Structure 1
Amino acid sequence: MHSSSFYPEVMPFHAKSRVLVLFDIDGTLLRRAGPHHREVLEEAVWRVAGVRATTEGIPVQGMLDGEILRCMLRQAGAAEPTAEQMLTIMNKAQALYVRRCPDLRDKVCPGVPELLARLTAQAAVVGLVTGNLSRIGWRKMTQAGLRPHFRFGAFAEQGATRAELAGLALAEARRRWVDEPVTATLIGGHPNDIAAARANGLRCVAVGTGVVPLDELAQHRPDVLVQDLRELKLEQLTCVDW
Protein backbone atom coordinates (compact mmCIF):
# COMPACT_ATOMS: atom_id res chain seq x y z
CA MET A 1 0.00 0.00 0.00
CA HIS A 2 1.46 3.35 -1.00
CA SER A 3 1.26 5.66 1.97
CA SER A 4 0.79 8.77 -0.16
CA SER A 5 -2.60 7.45 -1.20
CA PHE A 6 -3.68 7.88 2.41
CA TYR A 7 -1.63 10.98 3.26
CA PRO A 8 -0.79 13.11 0.21
CA GLU A 9 -0.06 16.17 2.33
CA VAL A 10 0.69 17.02 5.94
CA MET A 11 -2.77 17.16 7.50
CA PRO A 12 -3.76 19.50 10.38
CA PHE A 13 -5.71 16.84 12.31
CA HIS A 14 -4.69 15.52 15.68
CA ALA A 15 -7.53 14.43 17.97
CA LYS A 16 -9.22 11.07 17.55
CA SER A 17 -12.95 10.71 17.03
CA ARG A 18 -15.70 8.11 17.36
CA VAL A 19 -17.37 9.11 14.08
CA LEU A 20 -16.08 8.01 10.66
CA VAL A 21 -17.70 9.02 7.37
CA LEU A 22 -16.35 7.73 4.04
CA PHE A 23 -17.39 9.24 0.70
CA ASP A 24 -17.30 8.10 -2.90
CA ILE A 25 -16.39 10.91 -5.31
CA ASP A 26 -18.13 10.68 -8.68
CA GLY A 27 -21.88 11.01 -8.40
CA THR A 28 -21.64 11.57 -4.64
CA LEU A 29 -19.41 14.59 -4.06
CA LEU A 30 -19.16 15.67 -7.73
CA ARG A 31 -21.29 15.16 -10.82
CA ARG A 32 -20.71 15.83 -14.50
CA ALA A 33 -17.05 16.63 -13.82
CA GLY A 34 -16.20 16.60 -17.51
CA PRO A 35 -14.40 14.26 -19.95
CA HIS A 36 -10.89 14.78 -18.62
CA HIS A 37 -10.77 11.63 -16.49
CA ARG A 38 -11.86 9.39 -19.35
CA GLU A 39 -9.54 11.16 -21.78
CA VAL A 40 -6.41 10.69 -19.65
CA LEU A 41 -7.09 6.97 -19.26
CA GLU A 42 -7.33 6.62 -23.04
CA GLU A 43 -4.24 8.75 -23.66
CA ALA A 44 -2.21 6.89 -21.05
CA VAL A 45 -2.99 3.54 -22.69
CA TRP A 46 -1.93 4.95 -26.06
CA ARG A 47 1.29 6.51 -24.78
CA VAL A 48 2.42 3.51 -22.73
CA ALA A 49 1.00 0.50 -24.58
CA GLY A 50 0.62 1.94 -28.07
CA VAL A 51 -3.00 0.81 -28.15
CA ARG A 52 -5.95 2.93 -29.28
CA ALA A 53 -8.43 1.99 -26.56
CA THR A 54 -11.61 3.70 -25.43
CA THR A 55 -14.02 3.64 -22.52
CA GLU A 56 -16.97 3.52 -24.93
CA GLY A 57 -19.23 0.57 -24.18
CA ILE A 58 -17.69 0.03 -20.73
CA PRO A 59 -20.08 0.61 -17.78
CA VAL A 60 -17.52 2.69 -15.91
CA GLN A 61 -19.89 3.80 -13.14
CA GLY A 62 -18.99 2.03 -9.92
CA MET A 63 -15.78 0.55 -11.38
CA LEU A 64 -12.19 1.09 -10.25
CA ASP A 65 -9.81 2.83 -12.65
CA GLY A 66 -7.56 -0.23 -12.84
CA GLU A 67 -10.53 -2.39 -13.78
CA ILE A 68 -11.56 0.16 -16.43
CA LEU A 69 -8.05 0.16 -17.92
CA ARG A 70 -8.01 -3.63 -18.16
CA CYS A 71 -11.43 -3.62 -19.83
CA MET A 72 -10.22 -1.00 -22.31
CA LEU A 73 -7.18 -3.07 -23.24
CA ARG A 74 -9.21 -6.26 -23.49
CA GLN A 75 -11.84 -4.56 -25.64
CA ALA A 76 -9.09 -3.27 -27.95
CA GLY A 77 -7.72 -6.80 -28.38
CA ALA A 78 -4.50 -6.13 -26.49
CA ALA A 79 -2.65 -8.66 -24.38
CA GLU A 80 -3.25 -8.72 -20.62
CA PRO A 81 -0.96 -6.03 -19.17
CA THR A 82 1.82 -6.92 -16.78
CA ALA A 83 1.83 -5.41 -13.30
CA GLU A 84 4.69 -3.11 -14.32
CA GLN A 85 2.84 -1.95 -17.43
CA MET A 86 -0.34 -1.29 -15.45
CA LEU A 87 1.61 0.78 -12.93
CA THR A 88 3.18 2.81 -15.75
CA ILE A 89 -0.21 3.41 -17.38
CA MET A 90 -1.73 4.46 -14.05
CA ASN A 91 1.14 6.84 -13.31
CA LYS A 92 0.88 8.40 -16.76
CA ALA A 93 -2.90 8.88 -16.44
CA GLN A 94 -2.47 10.55 -13.05
CA ALA A 95 0.25 12.89 -14.28
CA LEU A 96 -1.90 13.92 -17.24
CA TYR A 97 -4.97 14.51 -15.08
CA VAL A 98 -3.16 16.64 -12.51
CA ARG A 99 -2.08 18.99 -15.31
CA ARG A 100 -5.46 19.12 -17.06
CA CYS A 101 -8.16 19.01 -14.38
CA PRO A 102 -10.25 22.20 -14.58
CA ASP A 103 -11.90 24.13 -11.78
CA LEU A 104 -14.62 21.84 -10.41
CA ARG A 105 -16.27 24.07 -7.84
CA ASP A 106 -19.43 24.29 -9.94
CA LYS A 107 -19.61 20.47 -10.15
CA VAL A 108 -20.07 19.90 -6.41
CA CYS A 109 -23.30 18.04 -5.64
CA PRO A 110 -26.06 19.78 -3.65
CA GLY A 111 -25.57 19.77 0.10
CA VAL A 112 -21.96 18.56 0.01
CA PRO A 113 -20.15 21.68 1.30
CA GLU A 114 -22.65 22.16 4.11
CA LEU A 115 -22.50 18.52 5.22
CA LEU A 116 -18.69 18.45 5.15
CA ALA A 117 -18.55 21.68 7.16
CA ARG A 118 -20.89 20.22 9.79
CA LEU A 119 -18.88 17.01 10.01
CA THR A 120 -15.65 18.98 10.37
CA ALA A 121 -17.23 21.09 13.11
CA GLN A 122 -18.20 17.85 14.91
CA ALA A 123 -14.58 16.60 14.65
CA ALA A 124 -15.69 13.60 12.60
CA VAL A 125 -13.07 11.68 10.66
CA VAL A 126 -13.87 12.12 6.95
CA GLY A 127 -12.23 10.06 4.21
CA LEU A 128 -12.59 8.87 0.63
CA VAL A 129 -13.33 5.42 -0.78
CA THR A 130 -13.24 5.80 -4.53
CA GLY A 131 -12.53 4.03 -7.80
CA ASN A 132 -10.34 6.98 -8.82
CA LEU A 133 -6.57 6.65 -8.81
CA SER A 134 -5.13 8.57 -5.87
CA ARG A 135 -3.67 11.62 -7.60
CA ILE A 136 -6.80 11.93 -9.73
CA GLY A 137 -9.06 11.74 -6.68
CA TRP A 138 -7.06 14.24 -4.65
CA ARG A 139 -6.84 16.62 -7.61
CA LYS A 140 -10.61 16.53 -7.98
CA MET A 141 -11.02 17.38 -4.32
CA THR A 142 -8.56 20.27 -4.58
CA GLN A 143 -10.17 21.68 -7.71
CA ALA A 144 -13.62 21.35 -6.13
CA GLY A 145 -12.53 23.25 -3.01
CA LEU A 146 -13.26 20.25 -0.78
CA ARG A 147 -9.74 19.03 -0.01
CA PRO A 148 -9.38 20.46 3.54
CA HIS A 149 -12.20 18.28 4.87
CA PHE A 150 -10.55 14.91 4.09
CA ARG A 151 -7.93 13.25 6.27
CA PHE A 152 -7.20 10.24 4.08
CA GLY A 153 -8.52 8.01 1.29
CA ALA A 154 -8.45 4.56 -0.26
CA PHE A 155 -8.02 4.55 -4.04
CA ALA A 156 -8.08 2.35 -7.13
CA GLU A 157 -4.42 1.32 -7.12
CA GLN A 158 -4.74 -0.07 -3.59
CA GLY A 159 -7.20 -2.90 -4.24
CA ALA A 160 -9.15 -4.97 -6.73
CA THR A 161 -12.66 -4.19 -5.49
CA ARG A 162 -14.51 -1.34 -3.84
CA ALA A 163 -15.22 -3.59 -0.86
CA GLU A 164 -11.50 -4.16 -0.43
CA LEU A 165 -10.88 -0.40 -0.52
CA ALA A 166 -13.57 0.22 2.09
CA GLY A 167 -11.93 -2.39 4.30
CA LEU A 168 -8.53 -0.73 3.92
CA ALA A 169 -10.00 2.67 4.79
CA LEU A 170 -11.79 1.31 7.85
CA ALA A 171 -8.65 -0.43 9.10
CA GLU A 172 -6.52 2.66 8.56
CA ALA A 173 -9.05 4.89 10.31
CA ARG A 174 -9.13 2.54 13.30
CA ARG A 175 -5.35 2.50 13.44
CA ARG A 176 -4.78 6.25 13.22
CA TRP A 177 -7.90 8.37 13.49
CA VAL A 178 -10.76 6.84 15.51
CA ASP A 179 -11.37 5.33 18.93
CA GLU A 180 -13.69 2.39 19.51
CA PRO A 181 -16.60 2.08 19.51
CA VAL A 182 -16.80 3.92 16.18
CA THR A 183 -19.89 4.94 14.22
CA ALA A 184 -18.82 4.35 10.61
CA THR A 185 -20.75 5.17 7.43
CA LEU A 186 -20.05 4.91 3.72
CA ILE A 187 -21.86 7.36 1.42
CA GLY A 188 -22.14 6.59 -2.29
CA GLY A 189 -24.41 6.60 -5.30
CA HIS A 190 -23.90 3.14 -6.79
CA PRO A 191 -24.96 -0.38 -5.76
CA ASN A 192 -21.25 -1.23 -5.48
CA ASP A 193 -20.98 1.33 -2.65
CA ILE A 194 -23.85 -0.34 -0.82
CA ALA A 195 -22.24 -3.76 -1.28
CA ALA A 196 -18.85 -2.43 -0.11
CA ALA A 197 -20.43 -1.00 3.05
CA ARG A 198 -22.21 -4.24 3.84
CA ALA A 199 -19.07 -6.31 3.27
CA ASN A 200 -17.29 -4.29 5.97
CA GLY A 201 -20.06 -3.82 8.51
CA LEU A 202 -20.46 -0.12 7.66
CA ARG A 203 -23.68 1.82 7.63
CA CYS A 204 -24.62 2.85 4.11
CA VAL A 205 -26.17 6.05 2.82
CA ALA A 206 -27.17 5.90 -0.85
CA VAL A 207 -27.58 9.20 -2.66
CA GLY A 208 -29.37 9.79 -5.95
CA THR A 209 -27.04 12.40 -7.46
CA GLY A 210 -25.19 9.86 -9.60
CA VAL A 211 -26.29 7.97 -12.70
CA VAL A 212 -28.17 5.22 -10.83
CA PRO A 213 -31.86 6.10 -10.32
CA LEU A 214 -33.16 6.35 -6.78
CA ASP A 215 -35.62 3.48 -7.24
CA GLU A 216 -32.81 1.18 -8.39
CA LEU A 217 -30.70 2.13 -5.36
CA ALA A 218 -33.71 1.42 -3.14
CA GLN A 219 -33.79 -2.17 -4.39
CA HIS A 220 -30.38 -2.72 -2.74
CA ARG A 221 -31.81 -1.63 0.62
CA PRO A 222 -29.28 0.91 1.91
CA ASP A 223 -29.66 2.02 5.51
CA VAL A 224 -30.56 5.54 4.36
CA LEU A 225 -31.69 6.68 0.91
CA VAL A 226 -31.71 10.37 -0.06
CA GLN A 227 -32.16 12.25 -3.32
CA ASP A 228 -29.21 14.49 -2.46
CA LEU A 229 -27.14 15.25 0.61
CA ARG A 230 -29.27 18.24 1.60
CA GLU A 231 -31.74 15.66 2.92
CA LEU A 232 -29.22 13.92 5.16
CA LYS A 233 -29.34 14.84 8.84
CA LEU A 234 -26.10 15.08 10.77
CA GLU A 235 -27.43 12.84 13.53
CA GLN A 236 -27.85 10.05 10.98
CA LEU A 237 -24.06 9.97 10.72
CA THR A 238 -23.08 10.70 14.31
CA CYS A 239 -25.59 8.83 16.48
CA VAL A 240 -24.83 5.34 17.73
CA ASP A 241 -28.43 4.25 17.10
CA TRP A 242 -30.47 5.41 14.13
Structure 2
Amino acid sequence: MSSSTPLFLFDIDGTIVSKAGPHHRIALEYAASRAAGRPISCEGVPVAGMLDRDILRLMLSNAGVADKHILRWIPAIVAEAQRHYPRICPDLRHRVCSGMRPFLARLKRRGIPRGLVTGNLSRIGWHKMQQAGLRHFFQFGAFAEMGKTRSELVAIAMEQARRQGLAKPAAKVYLVGDHLNDIRAARDNGIAIISMTTGILSRTELAAFSPDFLLDDIRALPSAIIES
Protein backbone atom coordinates (compact mmCIF):
# COMPACT_ATOMS: atom_id res chain seq x y z
CA MET A 1 0.00 0.00 0.00
CA SER A 2 1.38 3.39 -1.02
CA SER A 3 0.43 6.89 0.06
CA SER A 4 -1.50 7.21 -3.21
CA THR A 5 -3.75 4.20 -2.45
CA PRO A 6 -7.25 5.61 -1.89
CA LEU A 7 -9.73 4.67 0.84
CA PHE A 8 -13.36 3.93 -0.05
CA LEU A 9 -16.22 4.26 2.43
CA PHE A 10 -19.73 3.07 1.58
CA ASP A 11 -23.22 3.78 2.83
CA ILE A 12 -25.48 0.70 2.79
CA ASP A 13 -29.15 1.44 2.11
CA GLY A 14 -29.78 2.85 -1.34
CA THR A 15 -26.08 2.62 -2.14
CA ILE A 16 -25.00 -1.00 -1.76
CA VAL A 17 -28.45 -2.56 -1.51
CA SER A 18 -31.74 -1.10 -2.71
CA LYS A 19 -35.30 -1.88 -1.63
CA ALA A 20 -34.14 -4.39 0.96
CA GLY A 21 -37.66 -4.80 2.31
CA PRO A 22 -39.42 -3.78 5.54
CA HIS A 23 -37.41 -6.03 7.86
CA HIS A 24 -35.14 -3.28 9.22
CA ARG A 25 -38.16 -1.11 10.03
CA ILE A 26 -39.94 -4.08 11.58
CA ALA A 27 -36.96 -4.76 13.86
CA LEU A 28 -36.90 -1.16 15.09
CA GLU A 29 -40.67 -1.13 15.65
CA TYR A 30 -40.57 -4.50 17.42
CA ALA A 31 -37.86 -3.38 19.83
CA ALA A 32 -39.46 0.00 20.55
CA SER A 33 -42.89 -1.56 21.06
CA ARG A 34 -41.49 -4.09 23.55
CA ALA A 35 -39.94 -1.32 25.59
CA ALA A 36 -43.04 0.87 25.52
CA GLY A 37 -45.51 -1.93 26.09
CA ARG A 38 -47.64 -0.75 23.18
CA PRO A 39 -47.32 -0.44 19.38
CA ILE A 40 -44.71 2.07 18.22
CA SER A 41 -44.48 2.84 14.50
CA CYS A 42 -42.00 4.35 12.06
CA GLU A 43 -44.88 6.03 10.26
CA GLY A 44 -44.19 9.72 9.74
CA VAL A 45 -40.47 9.37 10.47
CA PRO A 46 -38.19 10.37 7.53
CA VAL A 47 -35.85 7.41 7.85
CA ALA A 48 -33.73 7.97 4.71
CA GLY A 49 -30.25 9.19 5.54
CA MET A 50 -30.84 9.03 9.30
CA LEU A 51 -29.08 7.11 12.07
CA ASP A 52 -31.06 4.28 13.65
CA ARG A 53 -30.87 5.74 17.16
CA ASP A 54 -32.32 9.02 15.90
CA ILE A 55 -35.08 7.12 14.13
CA LEU A 56 -35.91 5.33 17.37
CA ARG A 57 -36.00 8.57 19.33
CA LEU A 58 -38.35 10.16 16.81
CA MET A 59 -40.59 7.09 16.78
CA LEU A 60 -40.93 7.19 20.55
CA SER A 61 -41.32 10.96 20.72
CA ASN A 62 -44.04 10.91 18.03
CA ALA A 63 -45.84 8.29 20.10
CA GLY A 64 -45.87 10.61 23.10
CA VAL A 65 -43.14 8.90 25.13
CA ALA A 66 -41.46 11.29 27.58
CA ASP A 67 -37.84 12.21 26.96
CA LYS A 68 -36.74 10.71 30.29
CA HIS A 69 -38.15 7.34 29.28
CA ILE A 70 -36.62 7.52 25.81
CA LEU A 71 -33.18 8.17 27.28
CA ARG A 72 -33.51 5.24 29.67
CA TRP A 73 -34.99 2.80 27.13
CA ILE A 74 -32.73 3.43 24.13
CA PRO A 75 -29.86 1.07 25.13
CA ALA A 76 -32.26 -1.87 25.60
CA ILE A 77 -34.14 -1.02 22.40
CA VAL A 78 -30.91 -0.87 20.41
CA ALA A 79 -29.86 -4.26 21.76
CA GLU A 80 -33.26 -5.84 21.05
CA ALA A 81 -33.45 -4.46 17.51
CA GLN A 82 -30.04 -5.95 16.76
CA ARG A 83 -31.11 -9.32 18.14
CA HIS A 84 -34.37 -9.32 16.19
CA TYR A 85 -33.16 -8.25 12.74
CA PRO A 86 -31.02 -11.35 12.01
CA ARG A 87 -34.04 -13.53 12.86
CA ILE A 88 -36.17 -11.98 10.11
CA CYS A 89 -33.77 -10.67 7.44
CA PRO A 90 -34.18 -12.48 4.12
CA ASP A 91 -31.60 -13.23 1.44
CA LEU A 92 -30.56 -9.87 -0.04
CA ARG A 93 -28.29 -11.00 -2.86
CA HIS A 94 -30.87 -9.96 -5.44
CA ARG A 95 -31.07 -6.50 -3.88
CA VAL A 96 -27.45 -5.51 -4.51
CA CYS A 97 -27.30 -2.35 -6.64
CA SER A 98 -26.18 -2.68 -10.24
CA GLY A 99 -22.43 -2.82 -10.62
CA MET A 100 -21.67 -2.80 -6.90
CA ARG A 101 -20.52 -6.41 -6.56
CA PRO A 102 -17.96 -6.29 -9.41
CA PHE A 103 -16.78 -2.86 -8.27
CA LEU A 104 -16.12 -4.10 -4.73
CA ALA A 105 -14.34 -7.14 -6.16
CA ARG A 106 -12.16 -4.84 -8.24
CA LEU A 107 -11.22 -2.75 -5.19
CA LYS A 108 -10.36 -5.89 -3.26
CA ARG A 109 -8.18 -7.25 -6.06
CA ARG A 110 -6.24 -4.00 -6.14
CA GLY A 111 -5.78 -3.93 -2.37
CA ILE A 112 -7.82 -0.75 -1.92
CA PRO A 113 -9.28 -0.59 1.62
CA ARG A 114 -13.07 -0.67 1.97
CA GLY A 115 -15.23 0.30 4.92
CA LEU A 116 -18.84 1.01 5.80
CA VAL A 117 -20.30 4.28 7.04
CA THR A 118 -23.96 3.75 7.76
CA GLY A 119 -26.88 4.84 9.90
CA ASN A 120 -27.58 1.16 10.58
CA LEU A 121 -26.79 -0.30 13.96
CA SER A 122 -23.69 -2.46 13.69
CA ARG A 123 -25.21 -5.93 13.89
CA ILE A 124 -27.96 -4.92 11.47
CA GLY A 125 -25.46 -3.45 9.01
CA TRP A 126 -23.12 -6.42 9.10
CA HIS A 127 -26.01 -8.86 8.76
CA LYS A 128 -27.27 -7.02 5.68
CA MET A 129 -23.84 -7.41 4.12
CA GLN A 130 -23.80 -11.11 5.01
CA GLN A 131 -27.24 -11.65 3.50
CA ALA A 132 -26.22 -9.71 0.39
CA GLY A 133 -23.15 -11.93 -0.01
CA LEU A 134 -20.82 -8.95 0.41
CA ARG A 135 -19.51 -9.27 3.96
CA HIS A 136 -16.05 -10.42 2.82
CA PHE A 137 -15.48 -7.20 0.92
CA PHE A 138 -15.49 -4.94 3.99
CA GLN A 139 -12.69 -4.64 6.52
CA PHE A 140 -14.22 -2.24 9.07
CA GLY A 141 -17.22 -0.01 9.63
CA ALA A 142 -18.69 2.93 11.52
CA PHE A 143 -22.29 2.43 12.64
CA ALA A 144 -25.16 4.29 14.29
CA GLU A 145 -24.22 3.52 17.89
CA MET A 146 -20.66 4.84 17.40
CA GLY A 147 -21.42 8.54 16.88
CA LYS A 148 -24.07 11.22 17.03
CA THR A 149 -23.97 12.26 13.37
CA ARG A 150 -23.04 10.80 10.00
CA SER A 151 -20.16 13.28 9.86
CA GLU A 152 -18.79 11.82 13.09
CA LEU A 153 -19.12 8.33 11.66
CA VAL A 154 -17.05 9.27 8.61
CA ALA A 155 -14.31 10.61 10.89
CA ILE A 156 -14.46 7.44 12.98
CA ALA A 157 -14.19 5.24 9.89
CA MET A 158 -11.17 7.14 8.59
CA GLU A 159 -9.47 6.82 11.96
CA GLN A 160 -10.23 3.09 12.05
CA ALA A 161 -8.62 2.61 8.64
CA ARG A 162 -5.51 4.52 9.65
CA ARG A 163 -5.21 2.84 13.05
CA GLN A 164 -5.48 -0.59 11.45
CA GLY A 165 -2.81 0.29 8.90
CA LEU A 166 -5.26 0.06 6.01
CA ALA A 167 -4.85 3.66 4.83
CA LYS A 168 -2.08 6.22 4.98
CA PRO A 169 -2.85 9.59 6.63
CA ALA A 170 -2.52 11.34 3.25
CA ALA A 171 -4.74 8.85 1.38
CA LYS A 172 -7.50 10.27 -0.81
CA VAL A 173 -10.83 9.27 0.74
CA TYR A 174 -14.07 8.69 -1.17
CA LEU A 175 -17.49 8.34 0.44
CA VAL A 176 -20.06 6.54 -1.71
CA GLY A 177 -23.64 7.39 -0.78
CA ASP A 178 -27.10 8.11 -2.10
CA HIS A 179 -28.37 10.88 0.18
CA LEU A 180 -27.77 14.56 0.85
CA ASN A 181 -26.62 13.61 4.34
CA ASP A 182 -23.77 11.66 2.74
CA ILE A 183 -22.77 14.76 0.78
CA ARG A 184 -22.81 16.85 3.95
CA ALA A 185 -20.79 14.27 5.87
CA ALA A 186 -18.16 14.12 3.13
CA ARG A 187 -17.90 17.92 2.99
CA ASP A 188 -17.64 18.16 6.78
CA ASN A 189 -14.63 15.84 6.64
CA GLY A 190 -13.00 17.34 3.57
CA ILE A 191 -13.27 14.17 1.48
CA ALA A 192 -14.68 13.40 -1.96
CA ILE A 193 -18.30 12.35 -2.39
CA ILE A 194 -19.56 9.88 -4.98
CA SER A 195 -23.34 10.26 -5.13
CA MET A 196 -25.39 7.37 -6.45
CA THR A 197 -28.83 7.67 -8.03
CA THR A 198 -29.75 4.21 -6.69
CA GLY A 199 -31.53 5.60 -3.61
CA ILE A 200 -34.73 7.59 -3.15
CA LEU A 201 -33.34 10.93 -4.35
CA SER A 202 -33.36 11.86 -8.01
CA ARG A 203 -30.35 12.83 -10.10
CA THR A 204 -31.65 16.41 -10.14
CA GLU A 205 -31.93 16.55 -6.34
CA LEU A 206 -28.41 15.23 -5.86
CA ALA A 207 -26.92 17.37 -8.64
CA ALA A 208 -28.15 20.51 -6.89
CA PHE A 209 -25.53 19.84 -4.20
CA SER A 210 -22.68 19.40 -6.69
CA PRO A 211 -21.17 16.08 -5.62
CA ASP A 212 -17.72 15.28 -6.97
CA PHE A 213 -19.22 12.40 -8.95
CA LEU A 214 -22.87 11.63 -9.73
CA LEU A 215 -23.36 8.10 -11.03
CA ASP A 216 -26.14 5.70 -11.98
CA ASP A 217 -23.74 2.76 -11.79
CA ILE A 218 -20.61 2.72 -9.64
CA ARG A 219 -18.66 1.11 -12.51
CA ALA A 220 -18.84 4.47 -14.31
CA LEU A 221 -16.34 5.92 -11.84
CA PRO A 222 -13.20 6.93 -13.78
CA SER A 223 -10.66 4.11 -13.74
CA ALA A 224 -7.82 6.50 -12.98
CA ILE A 225 -9.12 6.90 -9.42
CA ILE A 226 -8.57 3.23 -8.70
CA GLU A 227 -5.55 2.57 -10.87
CA SER A 228 -3.42 5.56 -9.94
TM bin, normalised by shorter chain, reads over 0.9
Per the alignment, residue 132 of structure 1 pairs with 120
* Structure 1 gap ranges (5+): 1-14
Asked if 1 retains the 8 angstrom alpha-carbon contact of 2:96 and 2:132, the reply is yes
- How far apart, CA to CA, are the structure 2 residues paired with 1:142 and 1:234? 27
Match of 2:73 among 74, 85, 93: 85
% identical aligned pairs: 49
* Cα distance per residue 1:83-114 (max 9 Å; x no partner): 44211100100100011111000000000001
- How far apart, CA to CA, are the structure 2 residues paired with 1:120 and 1:38? 31
* Structure 2 gap ranges (5+): none
Following TM superposition, by how much is the alpha carbon of 1:233 offset from its aligned partner in structure 2, in angstroms?
Answer: 3.0
Asked if 2 retains the 8 angstrom alpha-carbon contact of 1:41 and 1:69, the reply is yes
Give the TM-score taking structure 2 as reference length. 0.94
Following TM superposition, by how much is the alpha carbon of 1:229 offset from its aligned partner in structure 2, in angstroms?
Answer: 1.5
Following TM superposition, by how much is the alpha carbon of 1:183 offset from its aligned partner in structure 2, in angstroms?
Answer: 1.5
Per the alignment, residue 224 of structure 1 pairs with 213
Give the TM-score taking structure 1 as reference length. 0.89
Indicate yes or no: 2:38 matched with 1:48.
no
Per the alignment, residue 199 of structure 2 pairs with 210
Per the alignment, residue 16 of structure 2 pairs with 29
3-state SS, counterpart of residue 13 of structure 2: coil
Per the alignment, residue 182 of structure 2 pairs with 193
Asked if 2 retains the 8 angstrom alpha-carbon contact of 1:163 and 1:196, the reply is yes
The amino acid that maps onto 1:158 is M
- How far apart, CA to CA, are the structure 1 residues paired with 2:226 and 2:80? 37
3-state SS, counterpart of residue 180 of structure 1: coil
- How far apart, CA to CA, are the structure 2 residues paired with 1:34 and 1:226? 23
- Judge which range, 170-179 or 102-111, deviates more: 170-179
Following TM superposition, by how much is the alpha carbon of 1:77 offset from its aligned partner in structure 2, in angstroms?
Answer: 0.4
CA, structure 1 residues 238+206, in 2 after alignment: closer, same or farther (shift >3 Å)?
Answer: farther
- Judge which range, 178-187 or 126-135, deviates more: 178-187
CA, structure 1 residues 55+16, in 2 after alignment: closer, same or farther (shift >3 Å)?
Answer: farther
Residue pairs, 1:64-75, within 5 angstroms: 64-75=51-62
Per the alignment, residue 119 of structure 1 pairs with 107
- How far apart, CA to CA, are the structure 2 residues paired with 1:183 and 1:70? 35
- How far apart, CA to CA, are the structure 1 residues paired with 2:126 and 2:2? 23
CA, structure 1 residues 218+90, in 2 after alignment: closer, same or farther (shift >3 Å)?
Answer: same
3-state SS, counterpart of residue 60 of structure 1: coil
The amino acid that maps onto 2:200 is V
Per the alignment, residue 102 of structure 1 pairs with 90
- How far apart, CA to CA, are the structure 1 residues paired with 2:227 and 2:57? 39
3-state SS, counterpart of residue 186 of structure 1: strand
Per the alignment, residue 9 of structure 1 pairs with none
Following TM superposition, by how much is the alpha carbon of 1:75 offset from its aligned partner in structure 2, in angstroms?
Answer: 0.4
The amino acid that maps onto 2:170 is P
Match of 1:166 among 142, 150, 154: 154
Per the alignment, residue 4 of structure 1 pairs with none
